[in-house]
Amino acid sequence: MKKQILSILFILSINISFSQLVSYEAIWVKDSMDESYVEVEEFWSKIKEQAIADDSQDFWIVFKLEKDIENADHKMKPDYIVMNGYKDSIQRSKSVNWQELGKKVYKKELSKKKFETKWTLGSQVRKETRRFLVERLDNSVWSPLAEGKEVLFLFNGFKALNDDYENFEMKFFKENHKKQIEAGSRAWWEFNKVLNRSENANQEVTHFTIDAIDKNYQWSNDGEPSFTQQMMGKYGVASRERVIGDRMSVLFAKFQQN
């Protein structure tokens, strides 16, 4: 299953272009309803697949967060993050009757009663949902890790501290990420700017990055950095404050099959 998802993710690098819009849903699941939540997303996977085929959206991904139940801070984190991607604002503005689309998708598979049960379950499993809409500013090319390496996704939210932050991400940090991709320790990097958010969402975060790296990668400085690199790193780090930091894995993923 993981290999299938990662092979599908390769299409990400072909289809994604800058200025793409992505909606994030950070989801907290009700106690003892985790299995039911996964059942809901599995149900939605076919509906999303059809929506993508209909050109109503570009991609859909469900991530499961890593959480340490003994860590008090981790208890505050969401359980899942769902991402819906759109080519542009025109595609995002398309009206979709999701319930009718669902009935069409499951017409031959589920009775009306079973469909309604599945549909209703979706509103019963969530304890809280917080939303962001972001614009893709930059990304790398998807570069699959070598056979046997496990991919870990890092989801970081940053607060920009000055006007130089975006340039540091796209013109300095990105170059370091490229080196890691060439070395085989990184598969992906993307940089997104927050356009709007729900009232209950984090109000400090201004940008998000998503990294796909070798889960066993050990962070280190490869070689002695030059004075220029040291200064760029110093002022680059000073241009931002990390306010969200999550580790996660892909549970479901659907993309345009171009």
CATH number of the domain to which 236 belongs: 3.30.70
DSSP 212-252: EEETTPPP---SPPPHHHHHHHHHHHTTEEEEEEEEEEEEE
- Let me know whether 186 and 67 are in one domain: no
Same domain, 233 and 120: no
Range of the domain at 19: 2-131+250-255
Are residue 179 and residue 222 in the same domain, yes or no? yes
Q: What are phi and psi of 250, to 5 degrees?
A: -80, 130
pLDDT of residue 207: 98
So what's the pLDDT on residue 215? 94
Mean pLDDT confidence for 51-68: 97
Positions of E strands within 79-139: 80-86, 126-139
Half-sphere exposure of 220 (CA within 13 A, CB side): 8
Residue 104 shares a structural domain with residue 161: no
In this structure, the answer to whether residues 127 and 197 fall within a common structural domain is no
Quickly list DSSP for 37-76. Answer: HHHHHHHHHHHHHHHHHTTS-SEEEEEEE---TT-TTGGG
Q: Select the more confidently predicted residue: 256 or 213.
A: 213
| pLDDT value for 220 | 65
Is 50 exceeded by the pLDDT of residue 14? no
**pLDDT tier at 217 (50, 70, 90 boundaries)?**
confident
Q: 226-253, pLDDT tens digit by residue?
A: 999 999 999 999 999 999 999 999 999 9
Q: Which percentage of the chain shows pLDDT scores above 90?
A: 85
Same domain, 179 and 166: yes
Phi-psi domain of 42 (left: phi exceeds 0; alpha: psi -120 through 50; beta: other)? alpha
Tell whether 149 and 110 lie within a shared domain: no
Is residue 48 packed enough to be buried (19+ CB in 10 Å), middle (13-18) or exposed (0-12)? buried
Maximum separation of any 2 CA atoms in the chain, in Å: 68
Residues 194 and 237 in one domain: yes
The whole-angstrom separation of Cα 186 and Cα 246 is: 17
Q: Six-digit token pair at 117?
A: 């049960």
pLDDT number for residue 11: 46
Identify the H or E element spanning 179: helix 174-183
More confidently predicted of 6 and 92? 92
Same domain for 170 and 111? no
Q: In the predicted model, is pLDDT for residue 4 greater than 70?
A: no
pLDDT tens sequence across 87-145: 999 999 999 999 999 999 999 999 999 999 999 999 999 999 999 999 999 999 999 99
Element holding 176 (H helix, E strand): helix 174-183
Q: What is the mean pLDDT of the chain?
A: 92
Question: What residue has token string 């860590």?
Answer: 71
Tell whether 97 and 179 lie within a shared domain. no
In the chain, the number of structural domains is: 2
pLDDT at position 2 is 54
Same domain flag for 84 and 142 = no
Could you tell me if 126 and 141 lie in one domain? no
